[in-house]
């Protein structure tokens, strides 16, 4: 099992983490926000955290027990509501618009950078790869595939998020991505009925959520059906899949076992994605399992 952290993200820095918070630099601006997995003591003093932070997120009263509850940001005068960061590695260069949202997110998950690299490198090795990105959020993975020349379909259940991803495409000087606001499982089942196939499928399902028409999603109830359906959509050669999970209680071993059980004998790389702060503390954030079928990309 691997533990992967971003290696080439100059516009991002985990400065410090601890006491269930993280202090991060996104471009020129520093945010302070909750992080349930940072269970240790921070390395910097409270005074230093307060001095450095341009924006501080606080949960609404009574919502601290759930990491996805709404809250508010307290910002210094120099802090814009929106700004851009750049991710560049090898032939991949994308620009991503950030914003301070009421759910503490900024629009990117920087620990996903190793997946962006994998997606880009794998798509380069498959001419005109056809790629489906489900639960696609603001689209960094879609941009990575598109930059490599893939034909990309980007799907998310929230219209505003798809609009955000479209803006990121234009900021990155790209075009041609197909945008869909839909329920992921329903869309996959329709694709099966139509006999559609893909070279690459990217999955980052939430622990729970709602589709655009109120469809209910619970990861533990839906993930097996979703993967079994995706397995039928994925071409038997010159193909890949990326599964990423943030759900608490699901280990990298479980993700690895799930993928191997559904897909059979395939090359699988699995482990955790996370961040490392300036003091060497490693912060695990998600688990992943990636498979390839007969591409030139090394596992």
| Whole-Å CA distances, 77 to 47, 53, 85, 131, 201 | 19, 12, 20, 42, 42
For residue 139, CA distances in Å to 95, 96, 132, 168, 299 come to 11, 9, 12, 7, 24
Mind listing the pLDDT tens digit of every residue in the chain (299 residues)? Answer: 899 999 999 999 999 999 999 999 999 999 999 999 999 999 999 999 999 999 999 987 654 445 557 899 999 999 999 999 999 999 999 999 999 999 999 999 999 999 999 999 999 999 999 999 999 999 999 999 999 999 999 999 999 999 999 999 999 999 999 999 999 999 999 999 999 999 999 999 988 777 787 777 788 888 999 999 999 999 999 999 999 999 778 899 999 999 999 998 888 999 999 999 999 999 999 999 999 987 544 43
DSSP character for 43? S
Which residues are CB-contacts of 2 (< 8 A; sequence separation ≥ 6)?
A: 269, 270, 271, 272
Q: Which of 285, 283, 287 is closest to 269 using CA atoms?
A: 287
The pLDDT value recorded for residue 68 is 56
pLDDT at residue 210, as a whole number: 78
Using alpha carbons only, what angle is made at residue 59 by residues 54 and 62, rounded to the nearest 5 degrees?
A: 160
Q: What is the rounded CA–CA span in Å between residue 143 and residue 128?
A: 14
3-state secondary structure of 215: coil
pLDDT reported for residue 224: 93
pLDDT at 296: 47
Kindly list the strands in the beta sheet with 71-75, ordered across the sheet, starting from the edge strand earlier in the chain: 12-18, 21-26, 29-34, 55-59, 71-75
Model pLDDT, residue 279: 98
Q: How many residues belong to the chain?
A: 299
Select from 76, 90, 97, 91 the least CA-distant residue to 27. 97
CB 270 within 8 A of CB 255: yes
């Amino acid at each position: 099992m691997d533990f992967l952290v971003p290696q080439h993200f100059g516009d991002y820095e985990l400065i410090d983490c601890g006491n269930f918070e993280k202090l991060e630099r996104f471009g020129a601006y520093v945010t302070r926000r909750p992080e349930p997995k940072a269970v240790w003591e921070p390395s910097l003093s409270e005074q230093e955290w307060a001095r450095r932070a341009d924006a501080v997120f606080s949960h609404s009263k009574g919502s601290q027990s759930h990491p996805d509850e709404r809250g508010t940001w307290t910002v210094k005068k120099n802090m814009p509501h929106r700004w851009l960061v750049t991710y560049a590695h090898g032939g991949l260069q994308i620009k991503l618009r950030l914003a301070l949202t009421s759910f503490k997110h900024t629009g990117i998950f920087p620990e996903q950078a190793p997946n962006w690299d994998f997606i880009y490198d794998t798509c380069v090795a498959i001419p005109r790869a056809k790629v489906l990105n489900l639960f696609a959020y603001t689209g960094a993975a879609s941009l990575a595939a598109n930059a490599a020349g893939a034909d990309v379909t980007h799907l998310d259940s929230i219209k505003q998020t798809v609009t955000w991803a479209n803006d990121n495409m234009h900021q990155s000087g790209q075009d041609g991505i197909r945008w869909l606001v839909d329920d992921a499982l329903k869309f996959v089942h329709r694709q099966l009925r139509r006999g559609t196939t893909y070279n690459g499928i990217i999955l980052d399902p939430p622990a729970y959520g709602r589709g655009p028409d109120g469809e209910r999603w619970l990861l533990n109830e839906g993930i097996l059906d979703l993967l079994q359906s995706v397995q039928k959509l994925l071409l038997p050669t010159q193909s890949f899949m990326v599964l990423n999970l943030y759900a608490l209680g699901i280990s990298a071993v479980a993700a690895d076992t799930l993928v191997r059980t559904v897909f059979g004998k395939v090359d699988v790389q699995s482990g955790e994605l996370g961040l490392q702060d300036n003091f060497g503390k490693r912060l695990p954030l998600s688990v992943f399992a990636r498979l390839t079928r007969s591409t030139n990309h090394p596992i």
